[in-house]
Chains A and B, each alone.
Chain A
Amino acid sequence: DSGVTQTPKHLITATGQRVTLRCSPRSGDLSVYWYQQSLDQGLQFLIQYYNGEERAKGNILERFSAQQFPDLHSELNLSSLELGDSALYFCASSVEASGVADTQYFGPGTRLTVL
């Protein structure tokens, strides 16, 4: 158990809908990262938040957005869903001491299926 929790574990929805994925980082971790794993793309970085502020952005679609709340949990919002958004979505967290590379610990993921 990494200490990172994600809900829900599975999500099935229809095209055009909007969903919210939730992540709680490990105790003491200030950084939250979101990754997408689809069948043909491997693990792709989406976005990072550090202590409530957006820190880094990857190949995140404009239909997707995220935020980190004062209690450090994070939500990833996916809207106008398309079939191609079906994937595993992972959250990771790290301490991220300034200037020091540190290890990211991953949650169990949310499997999103868009029908």
Chain B
Amino acid sequence: DQQVKQNSPSLSVQEGRISILNCDYTNSMFDYFLWYKKYPAEGPTFLISISSIKDKNEDGRFTVFLNKSAKHLSLHIVPSQPGDSAVYFCASSVPGGTSYGKLTFGQGTILTVHP
């Protein structure tokens, strides 16, 4: 049972344009959502997060949107740069209990930004 899904395995974007990466989840108990970027042979690097009490969080070129009713979040990168080319993972966690702190990851989306 995959509780966090990234339905697009890959995305190709021109430099300077917007990249939109999507993530859907099924567990209504998730209350904290994160995006990580990963290069080959490296660990995931934290990009941006959002709590379920918000619907938007912005940090420089990165903005995360959360639609709780649709159980959907998205990461917008504007403008996209070739250095943004990597695998992007969304991850979610539930509050408290024996699962507290455990991150559930999506399968990742490979973003390629062409010069």
Contact = CB atoms under 8 A, between A and B. Distances in A.
Contacts of B43: 2, 4, 6, 90, 92, 106-109
Interface string B38-68: 0001111110010100000000000000000
Interface residues of A, number: 30
A63 B31 CA distance: 32
Interface residues of B, number: 28
A78 B33 CA distance: 30
A58 B102 contact: yes
A105 B47 CA distance: 10
B93 interface: yes
Nearest to B43: A106
The secondary structure that dominates the A interface is strand
A55 B103 CA distance: 13
Contacts of B98: 56-57
B85 interface: no
Nearest to B44: A106
Contacts of A6: 43
B34 A103 contact: yes
Nearest to B32: A101
B46 A105 contact: yes
A114 B102 CA distance: 27
A96 interface: yes
Interface in A7-53: 31, 33, 35, 42-45, 48, 50
Contacts of B46: 2, 103-106
Nearest to B34: A103
A93 to B, nearest CB: 11
Given A101-B31, A101-B51, A101-B95, A2 B101 contact: no
Q: Which of B41, B89, B102 has the most CB of A within 10 A?
A: B102
Given A2-B46, A6-B43, A106-B44, 4 more contacts: A35-B103, A44-B105, A56-B102, A99-B96
The 10 closest A-B pairs by CB, nearest first: A101-B32, A106-B43, A43-B105, A45-B102, A106-B44, A108-B43, A42-B107, A48-B101, A109-B43, A56-B102
